[in-house]
């Protein structure tokens, strides 16, 4: 055998030995892999700091679309979002897409830069109980105003969702302001009178089931729709269609029939697509409940707006980054009825019976981490061929999001308007 052949054989033997060693090497335990992927993140009013800050900034700066999937109604996550706006603004920030209705977002945009913004929005909410979701939070309103301030005069909120339960009266006002013809006007004014009566009943009971949106009959709405189609004009027709779509989603959710989550997701995608068609170079921050912003199928089995944006970015050849931002424990808030203060309750996702992936994240928190520091997990580093060994929950999270960011504690925001008590 020639020297060349011997050298080749030895090289092949060495390669095989290295390959066998790699195959036989025990993979890292998930806890060790998680420890390698996590960093501490300090969140202060002046911005981010700590080891996770550079990782987050790099991902945000490289992305046209930045998506924050959250748990709602905290003080801390809006403050986090404000810092993300500050990261995005130097590279351009066109809009923040939010989980509220388009008409509600327009109303907030009209007041967003007013010196008495908070009072104006509180008055609007008092006049129109339950007219909007989430932007009735004091913390959310402050974040929207802060983002507008750093992004510049062209920044807007984009509401993508269906309107909220108490929106009917406001929509009727907008229809009448659009100067419909006499047939449509008569019908809209009749609906507005019914709506005012329904609001009084709902304020007394606290039940959204007493609001016009859910008490009006199909026959009443059909008659109004016929008149609006005849001489209402395009604006009134669009607003009435929005009212009926909102009603259909809530009715399907109430009855448990149909596909309310899918219908809602498709509505949000259509609304976002219309915005992007008008502003194809838009750089957008999105802030929605966590289930909405998964890539692929979310835990409800829906391909929601987060997946739509990820695919849209791929088609454009640009980057999108999806992050889930939640708390480990603290106090959460939720809807508690028409013109009622928020319902608040304690939660602990690390020790309670319903603990989830956040328990693993907090267990990986180094002992010397400052008590107020958050934990950032770069989920991209956990994607590998051996993901089948992970729990279904972790597989779903790793495939659905790029980062998981956990605040040590959350506290509830308060509402604006007549029911502003915490």
422 residues of the chain, pLDDT tens digit each: 454 454 444 454 444 444 444 444 556 788 899 999 999 999 999 999 999 999 999 999 999 999 999 999 999 999 999 999 999 999 999 999 999 999 999 999 999 999 999 999 999 999 999 999 999 999 999 999 999 999 999 999 999 999 999 999 999 999 999 999 999 999 999 999 999 999 999 999 999 999 999 999 999 999 999 999 999 999 999 999 999 999 999 999 999 888 999 999 999 999 999 999 999 999 999 999 999 999 999 999 999 999 999 999 999 999 999 999 999 999 999 999 999 999 999 999 998 787 899 999 999 988 889 999 999 999 999 998 778 889 999 999 999 999 999 999 999 999 998 665 44
In a domain, 299, yes or no: yes
Task: Supply the pLDDT for residue 29.
Answer: 87
Taking CB atoms within 8 Å and a gap of at least 24, the contacts of 39-42 are 39/375, 39/376, 39/378, 40/365, 40/366, 40/369, 40/370, 40/373, 40/374, 40/375, 40/376, 41/373, 41/374, 41/375, 41/376, 41/405, 42/370, 42/372, 42/373, 42/374
At 168 the pLDDT is 98
Q: Is residue 243 assigned to a domain?
A: no
Of 267, 308, 264, the closest CA to residue 286 belongs to: 308
Backbone angles phi, psi at 43, to 5 degrees: -115, 110
Residue 211 within a domain: no
Pairing of β 95-98 and β 403-407? unpaired
Number of structural domains the chain divides into: 1
Task: Decide if 120 is inside a domain.
Answer: yes
Residue at 388 is within a domain: yes
17-49 in b/e form (b: 16+ CB < 10 A) is eeeeeeeeeeeeebeebbeebbbbbbbeeeebe
Write down the pLDDT at residue 385. 77
**Cβ(243)–Cβ(131) below 8 Å:** no
Range of the domain at 367: 30-162+259-407
Q: How far apart are CA 127 and CA 223, in angstroms?
A: 27
Measured CA to CA, the distance from residue 175 to residue 147 in angstroms comes to 30
Instruction: Flag whether 100 is in a domain.
Output: yes
Q: Residue 157: what pLDDT?
A: 98
- Look at residue 181 and tell me if it is in a domain: no
What pLDDT does residue 386 have?
A: 79
The answer to whether residues 413 and 333 touch, using CB atoms and an 8 Å cutoff, is yes
CA dist 54 and 31 (Å) reads: 23
Identify whether 9 is part of a domain.
no
């Amino acid at each position: 055998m020639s020297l060349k052949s011997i050298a080749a054989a030895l090289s092949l033997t060495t390669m095989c030995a290295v390959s066998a060693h790699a195959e036989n090497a025990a993979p890292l335990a998930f806890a060790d892999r998680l420890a390698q992927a996590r960093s501490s993140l300090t969140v202060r009013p002046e911005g981010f700091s700590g080891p996770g800050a550079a990782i987050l900034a790099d991902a945000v700066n490289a992305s046209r679309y930045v998506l924050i999937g959250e748990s709602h109604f905290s003080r801390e996550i809006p403050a986090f979002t404000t810092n993300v706006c500050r990261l995005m603004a130097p590279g351009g920030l066109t809009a923040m897409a939010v989980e509220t209705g388009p008409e509600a977002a327009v109303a907030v945009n009209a007041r967003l830069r007013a010196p008495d913004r908070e009072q104006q929005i509180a008055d609007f909410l008092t006049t129109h109980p339950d007219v909007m979701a989430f932007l009735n939070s004091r913390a959310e309103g402050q974040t929207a105003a802060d983002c507008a301030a750093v992004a510049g005069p062209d920044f807007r909120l984009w509401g993508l969702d269906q309107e909220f339960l108490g929106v009917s009266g406001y929509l009727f006002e907008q229809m009448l302001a659009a100067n419909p013809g006499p047939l449509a006007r008569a019908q809209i004014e009749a609906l507005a009178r019914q709506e005012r009566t329904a609001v009084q009943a709902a304020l007394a009971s606290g039940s959204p089931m007493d609001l016009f949106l859910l008490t009006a009959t199909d026959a009443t709405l059909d008659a109004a729709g016929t008149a609006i189609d005849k001489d209402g004009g395009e604006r009134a027709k669009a607003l009435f269609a929005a009212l009926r779509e909102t009603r259909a989603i809530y009715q399907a959710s109430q009855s448990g029939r149909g596909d309310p989550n899918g219908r809602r997701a498709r509505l949000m995608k259509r609304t976002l697509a219309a915005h992007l068609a008008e502003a194809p170079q838009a750089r957008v921050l999105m802030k929605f409940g966590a289930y909405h912003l998964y890539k692929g199928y979310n835990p409800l089995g829906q391909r929601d707006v987060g997946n739509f944006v990820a695919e849209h970015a791929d088609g454009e050849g640009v980057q999108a980054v999806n992050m889930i931002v939640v708390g480990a424990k603290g106090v959460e808030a939720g809807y508690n009825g028409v013109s009622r203060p928020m319902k608040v309750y304690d939660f602990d996702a690390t020790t309670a019976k319903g603990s989830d992936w956040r328990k693993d994240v907090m267990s990986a928190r180094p002992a010397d981490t400052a008590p107020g520091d958050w934990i950032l997990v770069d989920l991209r580093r956990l994607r590998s061929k051996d993901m089948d060994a992970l729990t279904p929950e972790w597989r779903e999270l790793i495939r659905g999001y790029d980062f998981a960011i956990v605040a040590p504690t959350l506290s509830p925001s308060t509402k604006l308007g007549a029911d502003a008590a915490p």
